[in-house]
């Protein structure tokens, strides 16, 4: 038969979250009565709010009528939505035609890797969202997995740990074609300040790198002094792509909607605008995001929808406060959770997976092992604050009771 793609063989075990799901299933098979609460995968739980739901319903109704029906939309998204994203979420710093609506930041990451091709080199924060690394491996940009380092050869891992305030030492960072930078960070929950973000942009400019700035959690930033978008930094348009998502702020994890911003100023070495090639990728390998989802997002960006969005985010951030207080009370060293729905917690004397098993076994609480996000995540757990309030409360009570 056909030869297996050798890059697929390089990947390590399963993608993190399916692996957690597998262990959960196994645990439930052994303990069928256990009531597991998940502070694990960053999955939303709050219902979609009324004004946004209305936007979804209205489009479904239109699609059921002769006059309101529409077929293929523009692969780049509804013009109205592109403009509204530019205006409402970027205060017009970028233009609507630089916004490309998609089915989410994860598939956009995959398509960006296809755009960059197999000769590109990448840098990632360590720890980081696993998709940057795995997509790089699949596209053939890396060497093999190096068991000793717990890293893929050919990827530049930028250590982000409490000791450096989760901000990489750029003097030690090698030049790469692409830098993935997630802020507020998944998994550490850290949010950079303006000076740090400028440092990253300047670094990309000096190295002539493309900075892929993942702002999927930017709506969780509550401190107005902190930058939300990369385009708040001068000179960023010539180096930065921003990918983002409606998943967390409006509960569209299952509805699927995100976007990428590719400024007109961003060029490849030969002068080709990056968004020209991205447009080709969007039209050739993708067929646009669901029209229904896009109409929900249009409502989300109304004044009414924005208010609902802020309420949803406040709810999750209050959850994060509850978890942080409790874990600190138990003596854990806890980071994040102020501008992100994630808390990052050191588990002294244990590996991440040992701690994962302990939380699951003793408190029946699902967490995410930090090492799943990269070698610098070893010895940490990520806790997600995206659950129902009563579940969050019960989870922390159980942990306080069972794990003192």
**Which residues from 297-356 bind a copy of itself, rule CB under 8 A?**
none
CB of 39 to a copy of itself, least distance (A): 14
Q: Which CB, 60 or 92, lies closer to a copy of itself?
A: 60
User: Is residue 288 involved in binding a copy of itself (CB under 8 A)?
Assistant: yes
Residues 6 or more apart whose Cβ sits within 8 Å of residue 299 = 51, 52, 54, 55, 56, 305
Contact characters 58-77, a copy of itself, x per CB under 8 A: --xx-xxxx-xxxxxx----
Nearest-angstrom CA–CA distance, 213 and 220: 16
User: Is residue 285 involved in binding a copy of itself (CB under 8 A)?
Assistant: yes
User: Is residue 47 involved in binding a copy of itself (CB under 8 A)?
Assistant: yes
Residues in region 91-120 near a copy of itself by CB under 8 A? 103-104, 106-107, 109-111, 114-120
Q: Which CB, 246 or 332, lies closer to a copy of itself?
A: 246
Nearest-angstrom CA–CA distance, 264 and 93: 12
Residues in region 13-32 near a copy of itself by CB under 8 A? 14-15, 17-18
Nearest-angstrom CA–CA distance, 195 and 199: 6
CB of 213 to a copy of itself, least distance (A): 15
Judged by CB under 8 A, the residue of 86, 289, 340, 396 near a copy of itself is 289
Residues 333/347, Cβ–Cβ less than 8 Å:
no
Map residue 116 onto helix, strand or coil: helix
CB of 47 to a copy of itself, least distance (A): 4
Residues 6 or more apart whose Cβ sits within 8 Å of residue 343 = 189, 320, 323, 324, 327, 334, 335, 336, 337, 382, 383, 385
Given the rule CB under 8 A, which of 38-46, 148-156, 189-197, 298-306 is the region that contacts a copy of itself?
Answer: 38-46
Residue spans of beta strands (DSSP E) within 264-358: 334-336, 342-346
Q: Which CB, 213 or 332, lies closer to a copy of itself?
A: 213
Radius of gyration for the alpha carbons in the chain, expressed in angstroms and rounded: 21
Residue 57 CB coordination number (10 Å): 14
Q: How many residues bind a copy of itself (CB under 8 A)?
A: 89
């Amino acid at each position: 038969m056909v030869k297996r793609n050798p890059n697929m063989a390089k990947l390590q075990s399963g993608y993190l979250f399916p692996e957690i799901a597998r262990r959960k299933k196994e645990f439930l098979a052994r303990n069928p009565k256990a009531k597991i609460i998940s502070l694990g995968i960053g999955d939303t739980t709050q219902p979609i709010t009324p004004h946004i739901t209305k936007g979804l319903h209205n489009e479904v109704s239109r699609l059921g009528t002769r006059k309101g029906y529409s077929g293929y939309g523009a692969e780049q998204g509804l013009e109205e939505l592109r403009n509204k994203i530019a205006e409402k979420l970027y205060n017009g710093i970028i233009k609507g035609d630089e916004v490309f609506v998609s089915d989410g930041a994860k598939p956009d990451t995959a398509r960006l890797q296809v755009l960059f091709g197999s000769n590109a080199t990448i840098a990632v924060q360590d720890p980081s969202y696993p998709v940057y690394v795995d997509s790089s491996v699949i596209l053939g940009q890396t060497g093999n997995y190096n068991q000793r380092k717990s890293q893929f050869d050919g990827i530049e891992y930028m250590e982000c740990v409490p000791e450096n305030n989760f901000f990489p030492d750029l003097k030690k960072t090698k030049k790469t074609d692409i830098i993935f930078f997630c802020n507020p960070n998944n998994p550490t929950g850290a949010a950079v300040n303006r000076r740090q973000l400028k440092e990253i942009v300047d670094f990309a400019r000096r190295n002539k790198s493309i900075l892929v700035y993942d702002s999927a959690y930017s709506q969780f930033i509550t401190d107005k002094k902190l930058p939300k978008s990369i385009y708040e930094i001068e000179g960023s348009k010539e180096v930065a792509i921003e990918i983002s998502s409606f998943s967390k702020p409006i509960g569209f994890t299952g509805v699927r909607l995100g976007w990428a911003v590719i400024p007109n100023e961003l060029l490849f070495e030969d002068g080709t605008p990056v968004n020209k090639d991205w447009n080709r990728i969007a039209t050739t390998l993708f067929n646009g995001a669901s029209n229904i989802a896009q109409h929900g997002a249009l409502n989300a960006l109304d004044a009414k929808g924005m208010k609902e969005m802020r309420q949803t985010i406040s709810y999750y951030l209050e959850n994060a406060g509850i978890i942080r207080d409790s874990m600190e009370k138990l003596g854990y060293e806890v980071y994040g959770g102020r501008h992100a729905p994630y808390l990052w917690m050191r588990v002294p004397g244990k590996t991440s997976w040992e701690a994962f098993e302990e939380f699951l076994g003793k408190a029946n609480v699902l967490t995410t092992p930090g090492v799943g996000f990269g070698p610098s995540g070893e010895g940490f757990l990520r806790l997600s604050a995206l659950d129902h309030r009563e579940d969050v409360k019960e989870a922390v009570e159980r942990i306080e009771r069972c794990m003192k």
